[in-house]
Homo-oligomer: A and B are copies of this chain.
């Protein structure tokens, strides 16, 4: 270690104190990589600031010494966005977990970036309100990470991505400046809406330290049905009718192609097929609202109407919370089928909902022509235009994996889709960014990065592809 590096690290240690600066063997294993990356990397040290002032002071020291920083929340990301690069510091938000306020009149919650999503959900619930952001990692993921990645999840159809719920944001810039815009107003057109720049930038433009989220009234009633149709087109016709007749009560519309359905119901314990016969397509439809009786009536009328119109072949309506859990477990079994698929690649793509069906047929045909032994399953959030693909990469070599990626991303590009609907880019997808973004778009992203972080100190090696020097 050079003398100047040691001086910088000593300054950080003095600034953050023993609880805020962990080096050598004290560096926790969990801070060496996020959930998506196999090979851990050794950060120079793990910084654990106690508040915004410490984040700002630490960044000012890092800026002076040109030390890069990888920001970490709950480490549940799926694209390597929180994995340190060699020679960088890890800065974890794990000591900044306070829920500062729930305001029931303005319907807002204010929290530090390291607070888990679940802790926000519980604090909102205690006031009879709902935190609209929800995803499977809720118990571990940090709200700052949800904002930094513009997380999607289970309620996007009803409440939008995380961006839509963010009213206020506090951010520390690369030079240590604190930008505090913690207003609770739904409407604020006083100059540029700076928070929009940081939401979804995956820690590369600033460090989220505090968040104000809009809360919503808690639905008093939820209805759920698993529905079988002849094919994708019939399910999309049901979606259009559901939107028309259920309006904003519609809270989820999750689709499953039959290959996914069979793999789950035949292999995953507890995921029994609720239907007697096989069908061409399946969807899960959820409805929520303030009044049980009225919404239940509308929900039944929708299902009855779709059945009579010949759009639905069969349907199972949940009669209990246990039923709901059982039906959701089929949709949520993607992790459980990973062993069945063996070596595989997972995708999170989006496109116009109108072309989703054609995209899936196209990927399936191209895969079976190019890699006949590969198996692929398809499922996702049809109303959002977001499909998850899991495709086996038989043999698991880097070349085969790349071939599978190439097939899926080429087809995504063909349908003017996005290579990342909700998971972000991180380090794992940045070489594919140009499949969804034009050269002028990527050049403009670089221009923003250079303006906000001219020395490239924040989350190096993430989001933007490496620059080709000619």
Chain A interfacial positions (CB closer than 8 Å to B): 103-108, 128, 149-150, 152, 156, 160-161, 163-164, 173, 177-181, 183-194, 196-197, 199-201, 205, 217, 219, 236, 240, 243-249, 289-291, 294, 297-298, 350-354, 381, 383-386, 416-425, 429, 433, 436-438, 440-445, 447-448, 450-452, 463-464
Give A129 to B448 CA distance when docked, in angstroms.
36
Give A331 to B441 CA distance when docked, in angstroms.
44
| Closest chain B CB from A250 CB (angstroms) | 9
Are B290's CB and A189's CB within 8 A?
no
A240-B105, A247-B248, A448-B451 as given contacts; A186 in contact with B156, CB under 8 Å: yes
Are B353's CB and A189's CB within 8 A?
no
Are A191's CB and B298's CB within 8 A?
no
Q: With A106-B385, A179-B444, A197-B197 given, can you name 4 additional A-B contacts, CB distance below 8 Å?
A: A103-B354, A105-B352, A188-B420, A189-B420
Are B385's CB and A185's CB within 8 A?
yes
Q: List 18 A-B contacts (CB under 8 A).
A: A104-B240, A105-B236, A106-B385, A108-B352, A156-B186, A161-B186, A163-B196, A180-B438, A184-B352, A185-B418, A186-B350, A187-B384, A188-B420, A189-B200, A191-B442, A192-B201, A246-B290, A294-B294
Give A246 to B126 CA distance when docked, in angstroms.
20
Contact of A248 among B150, B249, B418 (CB under 8 A): B249
Are B291's CB and A191's CB within 8 A?
no
Of the candidates A103, A185, A353, the one having the most CB atoms from chain B within 10 angstroms of its own CB is A185
Are B188's CB and A350's CB within 8 A?
yes
| Closest chain B CB from A217 CB (angstroms) | 5
| Closest chain B CB from A364 CB (angstroms) | 21
Give A438 to B173 CA distance when docked, in angstroms.
15
Give A188 to B463 CA distance when docked, in angstroms.
13
Chain B residue nearest in CB terms to A423? B189
Are B173's CB and A444's CB within 8 A?
yes
Contact of A189 among B150, B438, B442 (CB under 8 A): B150
Of the candidates A196, A381, A386, A445, the one having the most CB atoms from chain B within 10 angstroms of its own CB is A196
Are A197's CB and B200's CB within 8 A?
no
Are B173's CB and A164's CB within 8 A?
no
Residues of B within 8 A of A451 (CB): 447-448, 450-451
A188-B418, A189-B422 as given contacts; A290 in contact with B244, CB under 8 Å: yes
Contact of A191 among B350, B353, B464 (CB under 8 A): B464
